[in-house]
Chains A and B, each alone.
Chain A
Amino acid sequence: MYQEKLKIDWLPILLWLVIMLFGWVNIYAACYTETHASVFDFSIQHGKQIIWMGVAMLLAAVIMLTEPRLFSNTAYPIYGVVLALLVVTLFIATATKGGKSWIDFGAFKFQPSEFAKFATSLALAKFMSAIDIDIKKTRTKVIAIALIAMPAMLIFLQHDTGSALVFAGFVLPLFREGLSGSILIIGVAAVVLFVLALLVNKYILLGALVLLALFYLFIWLNKRTARDYWRVLGVLAVCAAFVFSVDFVFNHVLESHQRERIDVLLGKSDDLQGSGYNVNQSKIAIGSGGFFGKGFLNGTLTKAHFVPEQETDFIFCTVGEEWGWIGSTLIVAAYIWLLVHLVSMAERQRSRFARFYGYSVASILFVHLFVNIGMVLGLVPVIGIPLPFFSYGGSSMLAFTILLFIFIRQDASKNQLL
């Protein structure tokens, strides 16, 4: 048996525990009723979550005891198995709330898409740590994108758009490995243009873009070459094409509930009983919390189940209502602290595999955090993905724990690994 002295970084483990326990407290509050007051009532979500938390801790311990190279060596097989599971899911899945991402195992259900995240992270890290890899090469890009896109597409086909979107997070580790920064700018610009195209008259928007281009060409730049003209013209043309395709995408590619959710977010629709209901209730619940919150178990809306998906995707409402601004801020701070620390940890890795994997972990958690809390706060359209370690749910709890602890395991023996 391989023996080494582990140098475990306890900070992320501590944050993981804190977030998980606080998450459980809020699930308890969300599910609490006088008849189900017992903490160990396993018929109800908060009781089940205790089991999942126990399993997660066990799993974490097991991962810490594994041989460090295990995961880099088995990255591709794991990836392959998960892909296969995703394909199988497509055929045998039980439909739940419009999505087909659950495999039913009788007593409990299992969501393969949750496990696709760490599997893809492993595979991509493995691929990116090969000797002759350079992200600037087209071949590398194509393979990397394919590795990301395959599970993402399969998940998308399961109508689990949210989980599919998470794979966009791999942009960050790729960016760290040398992918041009313009990808981030283009991404942000695309979102901004998309929103503007929906809100503003397209010709006015186009006029503004032309003005911006003229400003750039004749005032910003001191010297202009013919190339500059062509480049600006090219960007303008792409932008125009994008703006005019927005309507098509919006009306024909997106599904009706997605369209409504975007409309609600942009304030174009306020169907408070329909598609705007969740977000409105969620904002009311959070807003009513005030500075200190209403106190544990005193959340009126939480207890009254005004917010659907209270214990899963909308769990953050409970935090906002019962723990107020102070509690919400502390939770956000804990997450950001964990993310920033994960980046620092990744930077101190000596192997490229571990570093890339670390970035992947941070990025996936980040996308979840951004989409989930952003949705609850009414900043992002409603996309149903869980808040890591916090939302009720066994698959996500276990998958996120595996995702995180593989990295902590790598980090603990970073000095032995090259």
Chain B
Amino acid sequence: MSNQYADRSHVVKLIFIVVGVLFVGRLAMLQLFNPKYRELAASQSLREVTQYPARGFIYDRHGELLVHNEAVYDLMVIPNMVKNLDTAYFCQCLGITLDDFRERMQKAWKYSPFASSIFMKQVSKEEYARFENKMFRFKGFYISQRTLRIYDRPIAAQVLGYVGEVDQGELDRDSTKYYKRGDYIGKSGLEKSYEEVLRGVKGKKVMHVDVHNREIGPYQHGAFDTLPVEGCNLYTTLDADLQAYAEELMANKRGCVVAIEPATGEVLAMVSAPCYDPNLLVGRIRGENYKKLNSDIAKPMLNRALMGQYPPGSIFKIAQSMVALDLGVITPNTGFVCDKSLVGCHNHPSARSVQEAIKMSCNPYYYQVYRRVIQQGKYKSIYKDSQYGLTVWREYMLRFGFGQKLDIDLPKSGLQKGNIPDTAYYNRWYGKERWAFSTIYSNSIGQGEVTVVPIQMANLAAIVANRGYYITPHMVRFYGPDSVRNDEYYTRHETGIKREYFDIAAAGMYDVVHVAGGTARRARVDGLDICGKTGTAENYGNDHSVFICFAPKDNPKIAMAVYVENAQGGGGTWAAPIAGLLVEKYLNGEVKRKDIEKQYKEFNPCQKLPLTRRVKKAKKRR
């Protein structure tokens, strides 16, 4: 027998064992040392369907719904899953052309053959209904539900802001990696500043799909699913009726209105004219309308109340008075002759007190006041003295909220801080110790280098209303089911100036509206002790008409700033009556002076300027 070859059994066994070891090694390579396959597996057989939470609603201060949602459907596609598609029928169902279909498919392929991308955005309920029951015939396509913003009243567009698809920059900045391409994000206004509150938290459904892209069921009985967390509702400080009325009054004009409740710093209305219907920036019409609005030279998308910088004009005199009184360089009864050789003025009797100076808005008076503030005589050199004076003055101004960004709860980008020049500023311009009061005296009457932001002016009115302090203006009272509030908006920012001085300012402002010789008699409304101050911000075009006010004089309920750009005539002519109407509306609930209302609604100072170009009407989707 051939048992001489018995040793060969070892060779055979060795072959078997070697192959076994080879397999085990190969398995280790695939399963233990190569994460590629795991990722591929996850992307292939599981489909993560994002569950978009409903975005939080936005209410006004009386609980009126300003912004809510409606459902739309995104038609999604996974290109390599598309098989045996009856393209012609599919196009017919969607109402698109064959070329359109090819283009969309190409785009999707380019993004990724394996991952899902949006084939058609924001298909409406009606459109979706037409092909919902045919979806099974379109392999590789599925529907993802989304919500769109909807605005019942076309108001406060710049404040509310709009929502749009995240762009690359936003994706790069998103350190939490929350957003995915195609997600929506607040782009401006409250939608942006309260994005994290409003958006909620996305959920996901991990669906098990088979090779034909059919959903088999939830993966591991939903163990990896997360429910979307609905966005929190925002309860804003806005008064929808006041806002709407202000927008009506500001129609045909450029400028802005900011109204604040002085005791709380709550913004009651914030209008930037020209306004636009927020529904224009929703849905598929958004792109086209956005282009139009964005290229409009009247800049309707700019929130002038926060982003406009203007010379404050005469309104500034109130702050100047307070500073001078507090420094003790004048007393409440200090009088100055109206000497027009110092600085131009209109014809009026000389002011014998601060109260009168405010009432008559005397320029030479404030020239003198400002000189005493800037040149206090602490140093022999007028240059050094001016440097000292300016530094002291500037500190006061900062306490009024000027020269800095007010910490309002709207996006900080674009928010202006205005300019309260410091010594470095003038040193840069004129050289160190090369400037003195005579160089900078224009500041005294709110011209020159000083600029402010409208909201700061409204805030100044609130400071006088409060007799010496302000609470940072803000748009949101609380949000969410737990009524979260921001503590910052309870903090009193004190100017440190005595209350009695502000009483003088308030008295002067009362006179402005009510006493003969006051500059804003047109703002008067019977029974509503409106205190105001006019301003005319000089401009290279027509001057801007400015008015700040609060009312009533005692225990004020509303403080306001009104800017009308390029309005011929001073603050008393245009801004003051508009403010009067607004105060009447807010305090009385309705405006009885219909003739005046009509007159100012129709007033159009910008006829010579191209105003908002026609914008495509928001298609009503319902």
Contacts and interface: CB of A to CB of B under 8 A. Distances in A.
B12 A333 contact: no
A332 B21 CA distance: 9
Contact of B208 (A175, A289, A300): A300
A366 B210 contact: no
Interface stretch (B216-224, B267-275, B287-295, B347-355): B216-224
Interface in A276-318: 283-291, 298, 300-301, 303-306
Interface stretch (A64-72, A117-125, A339-347): A339-347
Nearest to A290: B31
Contacts of A286: 27, 30-31, 37
B210 A377 contact: no
Nearest to A289: B31
A282 to B, nearest CB: 10
Contact of B1 (A285, A306, A352): A352
In this complex, the member of B1, B16, B40, B209 whose beta carbon has the largest number of chain A beta carbons within 10 angstroms is B16
B34 interface: yes
A178 B2 CA distance: 8
Interface in B135-167: none
Interface size class on chain A is: 35 or more
Given A346-B9, A377-B23, A284 B31 contact: no
A328 interface: yes
B436 to A, nearest CB: 79
The majority secondary structure among interface residues of chain B is: helix
Contacts of B4: 178
A398 B200 CA distance: 60
A177 B3 CA distance: 8
B217 A175 contact: no
Interface string B1-43: 1101110110111011101101110111011101011101110
B20 A288 contact: no
A206 B36 CA distance: 37
A263 B131 CA distance: 43
A173 B45 CA distance: 45
A284 B44 contact: yes
The majority secondary structure among interface residues of chain A is: helix
Contacts of B16: 336, 339-340, 343, 362, 366
B114 to A, nearest CB: 10
B22 to A, nearest CB: 7
Nearest to B209: A304
A379 B20 contact: no
Contacts of B8: 175-176, 181
Given A286-B31, A336-B20, A347-B6, A306 B217 contact: no
B20 A298 contact: no
Given A301-B44, A304-B216, A291 B17 contact: no
A377 B37 CA distance: 12
Nearest to B19: A370
Given A291-B31, A305-B211, A333 B20 contact: yes
B80 interface: yes
Contacts of B2: 134, 177-178, 352
In this complex, the member of A273, A306, A336, A369 whose beta carbon has the largest number of chain B beta carbons within 10 angstroms is A336
A178 B5 contact: yes
B26 A288 contact: no
Given A178-B2, A287-B31, A325-B31, A377 B17 contact: no
A306 B44 contact: yes
B41 A324 contact: no
A402 B145 CA distance: 59
B44 A320 contact: no
Contacts of A134: 2
Interface in B394-416: none
B46 interface: yes
Contact of B45 (A177, A304, A340): A304
A329 interface: yes
A176 B486 CA distance: 88
A141 B31 CA distance: 44
A316 to B, nearest CB: 10
A347 B20 contact: no
A48 B403 CA distance: 85
Nearest to A286: B30
A34 interface: yes
A281 to B, nearest CB: 8
B19 A366 contact: yes
A172 interface: yes
A150 to B, nearest CB: 25
Nearest to B1: A352
In this complex, the member of B4, B17, B20 whose beta carbon has the largest number of chain A beta carbons within 10 angstroms is B20
B291 to A, nearest CB: 41
Contacts of B11: 175, 181
A329 B24 contact: yes
A377 B31 contact: no
A359 interface: yes
In this complex, the member of A273, A289, A362 whose beta carbon has the largest number of chain B beta carbons within 10 angstroms is A289
B165 to A, nearest CB: 31
A155 interface: no
A335 interface: yes
A403 to B, nearest CB: 17
Given A287-B31, A373-B23, A379-B22, A175 B17 contact: no
B23 A287 contact: no
Given A176-B5, A325-B31, A325-B32, A301 B45 contact: yes
A177 B30 contact: no
A340 B211 contact: no
A324 B220 CA distance: 17
Interface in A319-334: 320-321, 324-325, 328-329, 332-333
Contact of A303 (B5, B80, B208): B208
A288 B35 CA distance: 8
A244 B80 CA distance: 40
B9 A304 contact: no
A7 B16 CA distance: 26
B24 A290 contact: no
Contacts of A339: 16
In this complex, the member of A283, A300, A339, A343 whose beta carbon has the largest number of chain B beta carbons within 10 angstroms is A300
Contacts of A34: 217
A352 B6 CA distance: 12
Nearest to B2: A178
Contact of A300 (B20, B28, B219): B219
B31 A340 contact: no
B208 A304 contact: yes
Contact of A332 (B24, B217, B219, B220): B24
A97 B8 CA distance: 40
A290 B216 CA distance: 23
Given A181-B11, A287-B31, A300 B41 contact: yes
Contacts of B219: 300
Contact of A340 (B6, B13, B30, B34): B13
Given A284-B44, A324-B31, 19 more contacts: A172-B12, A177-B5, A284-B40, A287-B31, A287-B34, A287-B37, A288-B42, A300-B46, A303-B208, A303-B210, A304-B210, A306-B210, A321-B41, A325-B31, A328-B23, A332-B27, A343-B9, A343-B16, A344-B9
5 contacts: A301-B41, A336-B16, A336-B17, A340-B17, A352-B1
The 4 nearest A-B residue pairs measured at CB: A287-B37, A288-B41, A336-B20, A300-B45
